[in-house]
Amino acid sequence: MLTSVLVSGLGLGSMYGLIALGFHITYAVSGTVNFAQGSAVTLGAVLGYWLAVGLGWPMPLAVAGALLGCALLGLVVERILVRPFVERGSDAWLLATVAGGIILDNALLFTFGKEPRSLPSALVASPIEVLGAGIYPLQIVIPVVGIAASLALRAVFRGTDLGRVLLAVAQNADAARLMGIDVRRTVACAFALSGLLAGAAGLLIAPLFSVSAEMGALFGIKAFAVAILGGIGSATGVVLAGLLYGLVEAGVTATLGSTYTQIVVFSVIILALALRPDGLLGRAAVNKV
């Protein structure tokens, strides 16, 4: 029981974390988030299915193609749903990305089809037994990928010139321009990276569950909750919050039953934010008067 809760919680949790990292990156660089992030999860899975099953591409190629598609989606979202509003000083990007998500979800519904499909993968062919619980190999791969991605991101931000450029844009976009940094392109890159992470999450979950035109919606909301709980400005916080969220969800389901999962989880969110208004590892801005 405990093993299955741990595996299930860590697996889903690292997925939430991966998607939430996408929220984190765009927020850190531009102060905006893409509320169509859930649709990017769907797109990753759907493209992967279409390339691998529909067109018969070899899996690595299909994965690469799907990730590229999601990165492109990020660019498009930034260009038409975010930038026009940010440049006019409007907050309407928030609703624009929500509307974009609705459009994309429905467009996928009509192109991909209305019924869920299964994405075959060698990693879910047969379960292996770990500590008395049956686990698909993919369930081990998922948290590894999730944590590796967050560590890599952290390393990029802390240790490379590119990371410093991203941080500079986040802290003061005008000053960054004066350093010769192309802020627009940087923000666009952040959205592409964000889309790519969501797509990766979609590809990883798809074989475990199923591919459908609406699979991403709930993941998107939960991942946003995770991003906020972790402190949307902190990559480490976001990933930790993801794991924690997954474990709490699995734990509550296992002990109290699934009916109370949502009630408990959403109460915890409100309580946690009331106690830590800037998230788990978020840093409060100094209250300068």
- Residues between 137 and 156 with contacts to other proteins, criterion CB under 8 A: none
Cβ proximity to other proteins, 50 vs 136, nearer residue: 136
Q: Minimum Å distance from CB 146 to other proteins?
A: 16
Q: Taking CB under 8 A as the rule, does residue 30 contact other proteins?
A: no
Q: What is the dihedral of CA 227, 89, 75, 199, to 10 degrees?
A: 20
**Residues between 211 and 230 that touch other proteins (CB under 8 A):** 212-214, 218, 221, 224-225, 228-229
- What residue spans of the chain are helical by DSSP H? 2-30, 37-49, 59-76, 83-86, 93-112, 137-159, 161-171, 173-178, 183-208, 216-230, 235-255, 258-275
Q: Minimum Å distance from CB 97 to other proteins?
A: 10
Binding-site string for other proteins from residue 45 to residue 74, where x marks contact by CB under 8 A and - marks none: ------------------------------
**Residues between 84 and 103 that touch other proteins (CB under 8 A):** 84-85, 88, 90, 92, 95-96, 98-100, 102-103
**Residue 120 burial by CB count (10 A; 0-12/13-18/19+): exposed, middle or buried?**
middle
Phi/psi of residue 190, nearest 5 degrees: -60, -40
Bridge partners (DSSP) listed for residue 117: 211
Q: Minimum Å distance from CB 226 to other proteins?
A: 10
- Distance CA(250)–CA(258), nearest Å, equals 9
Binding-site string for other proteins from residue 101 to residue 140, where x marks contact by CB under 8 A and - marks none: -xx-xxx-xx---xxxxx--------x-x---xxxx----
Q: Minimum Å distance from CB 188 to other proteins?
A: 13
Q: Taking CB under 8 A as the rule, does residue 271 contact other proteins?
A: yes
Among 25, 82, 8, 5, which residue's Cα sits nearest to residue 196?
25
- Distance CA(160)–CA(142), nearest Å, equals 26
Under 8 Å CB-to-CB from 165, ≥6 apart: which residues? 176, 181, 186
**Residues between 229 and 268 that touch other proteins (CB under 8 A):** 229, 232, 250, 253-254, 257-263, 266-267
Among 167, 236, 247, 248, binds other proteins (CB under 8 A): 167
Which stretch of DSSP H or E encloses residue 269?
A: helix 258-275
Under 8 Å CB-to-CB from 130, ≥6 apart: which residues? 3, 7
Q: Minimum Å distance from CB 108 to other proteins?
A: 11
- Distance CA(3)–CA(88), nearest Å, equals 51
Among 21, 25, 33, 240, binds other proteins (CB under 8 A): 33
Q: Minimum Å distance from CB 193 to other proteins?
A: 19
Phi/psi of residue 66, nearest 5 degrees: -65, -40
Among 5, 40, 153, 189, binds other proteins (CB under 8 A): 5
Binding-site string for other proteins from residue 187 to residue 216, where x marks contact by CB under 8 A and - marks none: ------------------x--xxx-xxx--
